[in-house]
Structure 1
Amino acid sequence: MKLVNDMTVWFLNRRYERIEQFKKRPIETQQRMFTELLETARYTEWGSKYNYGQIKTIREYQQQVPVSTYEDLYPYIERVLKGEANVLWPSSIEWFSKSSGTTNARSKFLPVSPEALEECHYEGGKDMMTLLIQNRPDTKVFDGKGLSIGGTLHANPFDDYTQVGDVSAVIMQNLPAWGEIMRTPPLDVALMDHWESKLEKMAEICSEENVTSILGVPTWTIVLLDLIMERNNKTNLLEIWPDFEVFVHGAVSFEPYRDLFIQKYFPSKGVSYLETYSASEGFFAIQDDLDKIGEMLLMLDYGIFYEFIPLDQVGQKHPKALLLDEVEVGVNYALVISTNAGLWRYLIGDTIKFTSIDPFRLKVSGRTKHFINAFGEEVIVENADHAIKTAANSTDSLVANYTAGPVYMGDGSRGRHEWIIEFSKSPTDQAEFNRILDESLREVNSDYDAKRYKDMALLPPLIHIAPAGTFYSWMGSRNKLGGQNKVPRLSNDRSYLDDLLAILADQPSNA
């Protein structure tokens, strides 16, 4: 396998020159993406409606084309789902990514064009390994197999000639032969429909493979890794995969899980953790420096044009959208994308914060609809992740999952935040964990701190400890098992909390 590793490294190193080019010329690269997108789509129905053929500048584009949510674009997407051609994008659409719909109650069906597959998703997959090589030039990761948990595929309910599924399943189904050879488990197992049966089969097969890398969402990867360790009666995964090198993670913040992976699954400084930012809509950013935890390089040549809306502009009829040369470090922006799959000025629902503008590095700070602001405190997921990690580190504990929401003010009663937390390693002092969680939130969020001042508006958090497996059971009851589904961290209402509290109702009180 050494020859395979050496050839793959040589091939991927050639791509690094292109990455260096867009790092040096980011504005020019984005201008090229913009021009190519409009030129390609000028004769589509959408392009004709907004006069793409007459638009000469980005400012004209922003003035003529509205910022759109999924609900705004859905009438057009529905027609594509039903088989109409040349509506949003000229290429034939044979695949649709089914989003978990974490920002609303229903699933989203997003077109995946051939260009999006080749120039975005596949390019991102190659580039994440290219950037790993730059950090670990002596890597032997291609001597073994890459493990990935696939989603599922189903016939399009509107058109039997096309298919819908998790974006991971769409990507796997279309992998070239050489890509399929380098991964595990086999495609028929990776795309199995029944989640529990899939995990059992994956544990059986992957236990016998030389797995050197894993690509996955931390929450669901943990479930598989625990099963593999239990099946093989091992204390960590390096006893099964001694050549393991890297866990490539994304979709949710890794910070609540980092210590768990380092201490329990891969207790070795030789194992790296590389973050990516990808979604059903596209592949956006990759960690290019393993020492810069949480920071990812914005990938500018994937057929995506980026805009950034300050959070105080979100929801306005004509929000002011900024370009790369206008953004600032440390400011939260809502991400807007125009893509080579026909999503035009699409408000993806994520908030990001730039950590550097030379090159353009960012971190995902939360969701535009995943926050708590019931009392003017504006707590975002980034704040919550920081507080959870700080409290866990201070009490020698490991958090497996959590969610939080508001307890509303009543007649004469004050409000507070209510948390449900599942530990894989319990705190040495639960009261101390609760205190540090609250203090950490006050340190990173001045609005929350003001509301907590002398308990005048908000009482200390109410924290429930969930037994192991609670979140897994809850996600299963919502038909949300699988890699594309994420545990919602924060909500501005009590729907998630009340669902989970019902599951905990028969448990002894541990608030």
Structure 2
Amino acid sequence: MLSIKSALAKPFAKRVYKSIAKWSKNPIETQQKVFQELIATAASTQFGKDHDFVSINSHEDFVKRVPVRDYEALKPYVEKVVAGEENILWKGKPLYFAKTSGTTSGAKYIPITKESMPSHVKAARNAILMYIHETGNTKFVDGKMIFLQGSPILNEKNGIKLGRLSGIVAHYVPKYLQKNRLPSWETNCIEDWETKVDAIVEETLPENMTVISGIPSWVQMYFEKLVQKTGKPVGDIFKNFNLFIFGGVNYEPYRSKFESLIGRQVDSIELYPASEGFFAFQDTQHKKGMLLQLNSGIFYEFVKADEFFKKNPKRITIKDVEIGVNYVMIISTNAGLWAYNIGDTVEFTSIEPYRVIVSGRIKHFISAFGEHVIGKEVEQAMQEATTNADVSVTEFTVVPQINPVEGLPYHEWFIEFEKEPEDILAFAQKIDASLQKQNVYYFDLIEGKVLQTLKITRVKKGGFKNYMKSIGKLGGQNKLPRLSNDRKIVEDFPYTY
């Protein structure tokens, strides 16, 4: 028999589906409206005055007046907001700062305003409701749900609350989900990630877990501890676990590992949240990509990734994007970020409606020899090499070796195997062949004897976890870079064989 909660979920899901269909069928008009509201609201702020917002009537005007900036370039404005000044980037003061550990800038303080906060909460909820509308599956709403996230304890800076995004969002979990939600507040507040995961294992083992959510690398740690403790696959421990919600990184490199840990297939929903905004979520189980949130107070611009570092690259809006092109995503938001480069690259899988996949980071690439290899390419190469092979990979990162002891330079792949290939040389050649096929510059450098075939360095089990722990970035929303243009990650890396 259906519970009240389960019975109410379907009509609620239908209502949300209709409202999303309304704006997703009018994408250009929706974005134009968002753009006009943003410019009008911020015209009297310091940023608006400095950039002559009152005379901006079109995207062309905006491009002329507002250059693309990253956090470093926007920092002089952000520092005024952090100091407690009002009406700097957005009207009034922000409600929160999402504090992130930037890889290049040290700590970043990303404002979250009264206007931007709801979309951080609604998008995740809507993703689940779209899944209910499409599949009719509501059984999971009566079970326990776990969201692996950062501590909800917030600090204060000049009257503005400050914490990790996932910790801030924890304060907005709707009442109807509070009883279903794990871990407990006390466990969620544990700062040390390994201690926290151990506590979560103890807390969840006796429960009817139906939904598990988090960044794949950290959910993997939780699953491994469950399997270690019980000797059973996760799907046997939690018989009714049928929905995995994830975001933050590409899931494909983790898929085979997860399937073996769970022991059976479960449905999944991919999300694209960031401190700067909740950009997209998977709206259907049958098509690739996530629905870009065009009605959430975010105006999007795109620059072709291979043109991004040129002088004055062309900035386009959604009406001019093409499927399959790698774009740097630029955002302007109702949290006061303007023509802001979040550092992600995306690719459109569909334009009716607009769906994207995250293809990598514009700062995470290897171009030590002019090859410009990106995250998506190394992940696809790894996926192709492990498909239908008796090989399982836990984690990996790629760096250039510019000055080898002998022979030509090469790309060095640091790989932590769950199950190693019988012939590691053949495995390396398989990855290399895929990379050459995807990236013509890399192919030319191999053919032209500028580079030699990539080499694999084996990482000890738990090596990457220990590395992240040693630099104070274990758990939460921290992710191992998939590739780097230098060797900083592996300079003092004692975790190899």
Which residue pairs with 2:205 in the alignment?
207
Unaligned 5+ residue runs, structure 1? none
1:180 correspondence with 2:178: yes
1:307 correspondence with 2:301: yes
Q: What is the DSSP-based 3-state SS (H/G/I as helix, E as strand, rest coil) of the residue aligned with 2:331? A: strand
Which of 262, 268, 271 is the aligned partner of 2:264? 268
Q: Answer whether contact 2:153 2:189 (CA < 8 A) is retained.
A: no
Aligned CA distance change for structure 1 residues 124 and 203 (closer, same or farther; 3 Å): same
1:28-43 to structure 2, matched below 5 A, reads 28-43=29-44
Which of 287, 291, 294 is the aligned partner of 1:297? 291
Q: Which runs of 4+ in 1 moved over 6 A?
A: none
Which residue pairs with 1:284 in the alignment?
279
1:313-328 to structure 2, matched below 5 A, reads 313-316=307-310, 318-328=312-322
1:419 correspondence with 2:413: yes
Give the distance between the partners of 2:421 and 2:269, measured in 1 at CA: 27
Q: Percent of pairs identical after alignment?
A: 37
Aligned CA distance change for structure 1 residues 395 and 105 (closer, same or farther; 3 Å): farther
Which of 232, 244, 248 is the aligned partner of 1:235? 232
Give the distance between the partners of 1:303 and 1:326, measured in 2 at CA: 20
What's the CA shift for 1:153? 5.2
Give the distance between the partners of 2:404 and 2:184, measured in 1 at CA: 55
Q: What is the DSSP-based 3-state SS (H/G/I as helix, E as strand, rest coil) of the residue aligned with 1:490? A: coil
Give the distance between the partners of 1:84 and 1:187, measured in 2 at CA: 33
Q: Scaled by the length of structure 2, what TM-score is found? A: 0.95
Give the distance between the partners of 1:341 and 1:367, measured in 2 at CA: 22
The superposition leaves residues 465-508 of structure 1 with CA deviations (integer Å, 9 ceiling, x where unpaired) of 112110000000110011310011100001012233x333xx4x
Q: Answer whether contact 1:96 1:110 (CA < 8 A) is retained.
A: yes
The superposition leaves residues 285-310 of structure 1 with CA deviations (integer Å, 9 ceiling, x where unpaired) of 112222334x1111111110000011
Q: Which amino acid aligns with 2:478?
A: N
Give the distance between the partners of 2:15 and 2:475, measured in 1 at CA: 35
Unaligned 5+ residue runs, structure 2? none
What's the CA shift for 1:268? 2.6
Give the distance between the partners of 1:379 and 1:317, measured in 2 at CA: 21
Q: What is the DSSP-based 3-state SS (H/G/I as helix, E as strand, rest coil) of the residue aligned with 1:427? A: coil
Give the distance between the partners of 1:81 and 1:481, measured in 2 at CA: 26
Aligned CA distance change for structure 1 residues 157 and 319 (closer, same or farther; 3 Å): farther
Q: Scaled by the length of structure 1, what TM-score is found? A: 0.93
Which residue pairs with 1:436 in the alignment?
430
Q: Answer whether contact 1:307 1:336 (CA < 8 A) is retained.
A: yes
Q: Which amino acid aligns with 2:475?
A: G
Q: What is the DSSP-based 3-state SS (H/G/I as helix, E as strand, rest coil) of the residue aligned with 2:115? A: helix
Q: Answer whether contact 1:370 1:381 (CA < 8 A) is retained.
A: yes
Which residue pairs with 1:142 in the alignment?
141
Which residue pairs with 1:256 in the alignment?
253
Which residue pairs with 1:488 in the alignment?
481
Q: Answer whether contact 1:153 1:163 (CA < 8 A) is retained.
A: no
The superposition leaves residues 174-220 of structure 1 with CA deviations (integer Å, 9 ceiling, x where unpaired) of 33433433321122322321212211111111112221111211001
What's the CA shift for 1:410? 6.5
Give the distance between the partners of 2:362 and 2:373, measured in 1 at CA: 11
Which residue pairs with 1:221 in the alignment?
219
Q: Which amino acid aligns with 1:376?
A: G
1:378 correspondence with 2:376: no
Give the distance between the partners of 1:284 and 1:362, measured in 2 at CA: 10
The superposition leaves residues 339-372 of structure 1 with CA deviations (integer Å, 9 ceiling, x where unpaired) of 1111111011011111211111111111111011
Which residue pairs with 1:121 in the alignment?
120
Give the distance between the partners of 1:111 and 1:202, measured in 2 at CA: 30
Q: Answer whether contact 2:227 2:261 (CA < 8 A) is retained.
A: no
Give the distance between the partners of 1:408 and 1:394, measured in 2 at CA: 33
What's the CA shift for 1:228? 2.0
Give the distance between the partners of 2:297 and 2:96, measured in 1 at CA: 18
Q: What is the DSSP-based 3-state SS (H/G/I as helix, E as strand, rest coil) of the residue aligned with 2:414? A: strand
What's the CA shift for 1:158? 4.5
Which residue pairs with 1:358 in the alignment?
352
Give the distance between the partners of 2:336 and 2:286, measured in 1 at CA: 36
Q: Answer whether contact 2:459 2:495 (CA < 8 A) is retained.
A: no
Which residue pairs with 2:460 in the alignment?
467
Q: Which amino acid aligns with 1:129?
A: I
Q: What is the DSSP-based 3-state SS (H/G/I as helix, E as strand, rest coil) of the residue aligned with 1:115? A: coil
Give the distance between the partners of 1:317 and 1:70, measured in 2 at CA: 19
Give the distance between the partners of 1:10 and 1:92, measured in 2 at CA: 37
The superposition leaves residues 364-388 of structure 1 with CA deviations (integer Å, 9 ceiling, x where unpaired) of 1111110111111111100000111
What's the CA shift for 1:317? 5.3
Which residue pairs with 1:198 in the alignment?
196
Q: Which amino acid aligns with 1:39?
A: A
Which residue pairs with 1:345 in the alignment?
339
Aligned CA distance change for structure 1 residues 29 and 273 (closer, same or farther; 3 Å): same
Which residue pairs with 2:451 in the alignment?
458
Which of 240, 244, 247 is the aligned partner of 2:241? 244
Q: Answer whether contact 1:153 1:164 (CA < 8 A) is retained.
A: no
Q: Answer whether contact 2:70 2:341 (CA < 8 A) is retained.
A: yes
Aligned CA distance change for structure 1 residues 212 and 153 (closer, same or farther; 3 Å): closer
Q: What is the DSSP-based 3-state SS (H/G/I as helix, E as strand, rest coil) of the residue aligned with 1:449? A: helix
1:151 correspondence with 2:164: no
Q: Answer whether contact 1:172 1:187 (CA < 8 A) is retained.
A: no
What's the CA shift for 1:53? 2.7
Q: What is the DSSP-based 3-state SS (H/G/I as helix, E as strand, rest coil) of the residue aligned with 1:351? A: strand
Give the distance between the partners of 1:377 and 1:441, measured in 2 at CA: 11
Q: Answer whether contact 1:332 1:351 (CA < 8 A) is retained.
A: yes
Q: Answer whether contact 2:142 2:180 (CA < 8 A) is retained.
A: no
| Equivalent residue pairs, number | 496
RMSD over equivalenced CA pairs, Å: 1.9
Q: What is the DSSP-based 3-state SS (H/G/I as helix, E as strand, rest coil) of the residue aligned with 1:503? A: coil
